[in-house]
Amino acid sequence: MKKVYKESELILNPDGSIYHIKLKPENIAQKVIVVGDQGRVETVSKHFEKIEHKSQNREFVTHTGYFNGKRITVMSTGIGTDNIDIAINELDAAVNIDLEKRIAKDKHTSLDIIRIGTSGALQADIEVDSFVASTHGMGFDGLLNFYDYKEGITEDDISNAFIDYAKWGKKLTYPYVVKGSDMLLEKIAHGLKSGITATASGFYGPQGRELRIPLSVPDLNEKIENFNYNGHRITNFEMETSALYGLGKILGHNTLTICAIIANRLAKTYSKDYKKSVETLIKLVLERFTSY
């Protein structure tokens, strides 16, 4: 007998849409682009030939339309893995749960989800305004540790090597590592720089920025910069990828993050016009995303 998802667990709006993202199954394309900034949704959808659906609830703005004849959904998630937790769980629920009967559908729908983001580089050779694809997400956020998942979802050898190398403190969360979609890396990220993306639970202390509060790991960025495991190095810092990759893999979706590098934390440089770089990245992703 199938599990019935209770009203307190699967919350729906009066119109039948799912609670936070305010979408129904028919509003969601198989190809999904997620962005952090609400304003960036229109920056993507302005390239669409046609927009068939628009909705907004809180930070979740969604446009679904067509580019190169292919149906695409672009949705903003806001900042952080907590918002990714909402976005990915609810996208999955909308396409894989019968919202009226509150049971899982017999046929699983796998979404291709690409995050277009901005990020700071942690390696000297990664230039500002370049693009980096995330082969893995390394989560300092702890979100995935609240889920029970099968063996093989996480790359524990990389996690344990980092813990040993960095002398990771016991008060810090376990740095889980999840690999992105090989298929999307091949189809979307060819020719781009790539590496492990570290995902932080905040913008300041968790990313090694010190203002008026001292840091518990003052040499965090130095440790990250010098870590290398079988050729895998940590290339950049942001706040969403580990949760996107982890939840995506558990739920059976293909996920990929590509970030425009708007700062280099080592060189102390910042993009003079990061919006131009993001616009170029959006066009690249749209063309490649609709090529298959």
- Domain containing residue 68: CATH number: 3.40.50.1580
Q: Name the burial class of residue 137, with classes exposed (0-12), middle (13-18) and buried (19+) by CB atoms within 10 angstroms of its CB.
A: buried
7 within domain boundaries: no
- How far apart (Å, rounded) are the C-alpha atoms in residues 253 and 72? 15
8 within domain boundaries: no
4 within domain boundaries: no
Q: pLDDT tier at 274 (50, 70, 90 boundaries)?
A: confident
Reduce the DSSP state of residue 113 to 3 states and report it. Answer: strand
Q: pLDDT tier at 270 (50, 70, 90 boundaries)?
A: confident
200 within domain boundaries: yes
Using a CB cutoff of 8 Å and minimum separation of 24, what contacts does 97-101 make? Answer: 97/5, 97/10, 99/10, 99/12, 99/16, 99/18, 99/24, 99/25, 100/16, 101/4
19 within domain boundaries: no
pLDDT per residue over 47-84, tens digit each?
A: 999 999 999 999 999 999 999 999 999 999 999 999 99
- How far apart (Å, rounded) are the C-alpha atoms in residues 273 and 180? 29
Name the percent of the chain in helix, strand, coil, to the closest 5. Answer: 30, 30, 40
Q: Is the model's pLDDT at 163 over the cut of 90?
A: yes
The model's pTM: 0.96
Q: Taking phi first (over 0 means left), then psi (-120 to 50 degrees means alpha), and beta for anything else, what does residue 228 get?
A: beta
191 within domain boundaries: yes
Say which residue the tokens 């304003």 belong to.
39
**Alpha-helical segments (H) within 30-115:** 38-45, 81-96
* Residue 248 near residue 113, CB atoms below 8 Å: yes
Q: How many independent structural domains does the chain possess? A: 1
pLDDT per residue over 179-218, tens digit each?
A: 999 999 999 999 999 999 999 999 999 999 999 999 999 9
Domain of residue 67, residue span: 25-289
- How far apart (Å, rounded) are the C-alpha atoms in residues 115 and 251? 17
13 within domain boundaries: no
Quickly count: other Cβ atoms within 10 Å of residue 289's Cβ. Answer: 21
Question: Any idea what the Cα angle at residue 243 is, between residues 239 and 246, rounded to 5°?
Answer: 150
284 within domain boundaries: yes
Q: What is the pLDDT, as a whole number, of residue 43?
A: 97
